[in-house]
């Protein structure tokens, strides 16, 4: 069985019900983690995911709510028994720099006696940095996984990328944070599932929509690319009632998408089938 597990559907704003940006794409006994924001590690544990079975963590950009939990994830994976470095895939620039150095502040005594001797004296991270490209390019290949990336429009935060996760004929496009742009259109084309950030246009400052996507624009994107399921995440403002969720869905429909659309919730599981 393959599925998406939403580990964090929130934003930088504190919310007890929504962790920072993070989602898992799970197939069999392995999984890929896209972004690792606030509380992602605890949500992964709550979801019953084996931290030692993560194939790679892929970072979209260096906003804090997308990567602040990375040292906790690396450390908790290590204490769970991982004996290899945590693989982190990231675009060249600040996100890759953070991944390389996020454990540097810890002296060895911070980890003394916390893990099996087989795990080594401290957790480690192996960064696979790549140059962002406008057209999708493969940036990671595991035994059964393939990750492609393309640059997205989140200026002035640069670089920012989205990803296409592929496993066994299943394709999941993940936007990160971006206005709707050619990069995410290319990644979403032919994907079974598209997971995209969304803001309610009439409830946020217009300036935010210069570098983030409204739900209406995401609806237009989905109408063009026709995914089997569209998932809205990184929701601003965070919905707190059924009426709030309907407002997001109404914007999606106004954008032209009439297919299956979901409002992300932490720990939500979305099954994937081959198209």
| Peptide linkage before 237 cis (omega within 30 of 0) | yes
d(CA 238, CA 264): 10
Q: Where are the alpha helices (DSSP H) in 110-161?
A: none
- From residue 139, how far is each of 31, 145, 163, 253 by CA, in Å? 16, 11, 9, 34
Q: Which parts of the chain register pLDDT below 50?
A: none
Q: Can the peptide bond before residue 244 be classed as cis, meaning omega within 30 degrees of 0?
A: no
Ramachandran category for residue 221: left, alpha or beta (phi over 0 → left; psi -120 to 50 → alpha): alpha
Compute the distance between CA of residue 28 and CA of residue 144 in angstroms, rounded to an integer: 10
Residues annotated catalytic, as ranges: 65
pLDDT tens, 100-124? 999 999 999 999 999 999 999 999 9
User: CA end-to-end span of the chain, whole Å?
Assistant: 14
Integer Cα distance of 167 and 191 in angstroms = 12
- The per-residue pLDDT for 219 is 98
- Specify the pLDDT at position 82: 98
Q: Are 231 and 4 in contact (CB under 8 A)?
A: yes
SS3 content of the chain, % helix, strand, coil (to 5): 30, 30, 40
How far is residue 65's CA from residue 2's CA, in Å, rounded to a whole number?
26
Q: Which pLDDT score, from 0 to 100, does residue 273 have?
A: 76
- In this predicted structure, what is the pLDDT of residue 143? 85
pLDDT at 275: 54
pLDDT attached to residue 61: 98
pLDDT of residue 217: 97
Task: State pTM to two decimals.
Answer: 0.96
How many CB atoms neighbour CB 50 within 10 A? 16
Q: What are the extents of the domains in the chain?
A: 2-272
- Assign domain 2-272 to a CATH class: alpha beta
Q: What is the pLDDT of residue 1?
A: 77
**Which segments within the chain are labelled E, that is strand?**
2-8, 22-27, 30-34, 54-58, 86-91, 125-130, 137-141, 146-151, 161-167, 170-174, 193-199, 229-236, 260-263, 269-272
| In contact, 49 and 39? CB cutoff 8 Å | no
């Amino acid at each position: 069985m393959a599925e998406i597990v939403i580990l964090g559907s929130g934003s930088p704003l504190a919310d007890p019900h929504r962790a920072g940006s993070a989602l898992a794409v799970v197939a069999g006994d392995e999984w890929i983690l896209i972004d690792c924001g606030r509380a992602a590690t605890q949500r992964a544990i709550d979801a019953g995911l084996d931290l030692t079975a993560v194939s790679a963590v892929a970072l979209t950009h260096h906003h804090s709510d997308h990567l602040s939990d990375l040292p906790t994830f690396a450390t908790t994976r290590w204490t769970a028994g991982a004996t290899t470095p945590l693989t982190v895939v990231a675009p060249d620039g600040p996100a890759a720099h953070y991944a390389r150095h996020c454990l540097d502040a810890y002296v060895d005594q911070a980890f003394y006696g916390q893990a099996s001797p087989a795990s080594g004296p401290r957790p480690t991270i192996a960064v696979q940095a790549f140059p962002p490209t406008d057209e999708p390019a493969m940036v990671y290949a595991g035994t059964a996984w393939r990750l492609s990336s393309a640059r997205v429009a989140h200026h002035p935060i640069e670089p920012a990328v989205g990803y296409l996760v592929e496993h066994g004929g299943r394709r999941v496009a993940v936007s990160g944070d971006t206005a709707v742009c050619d990069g995410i259109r290319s990644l979403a084309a032919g994907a079974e599932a598209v997971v995209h950030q969304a803001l309610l246009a009439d409830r946020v400052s217009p300036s935010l929509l210069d570098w983030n996507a409204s739900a209406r624009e995401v609806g237009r994107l989905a109408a063009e690319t026709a995914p089997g399921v569209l998932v809205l995440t990184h929701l601003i403002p965070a919905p707190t009632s059924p009426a709030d969720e309907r407002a997001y869905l109404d914007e999606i429909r106004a954008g032209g998408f009439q297919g299956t659309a979901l409002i992300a919730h932490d720990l939500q599981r979305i099954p994937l089938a081959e198209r």
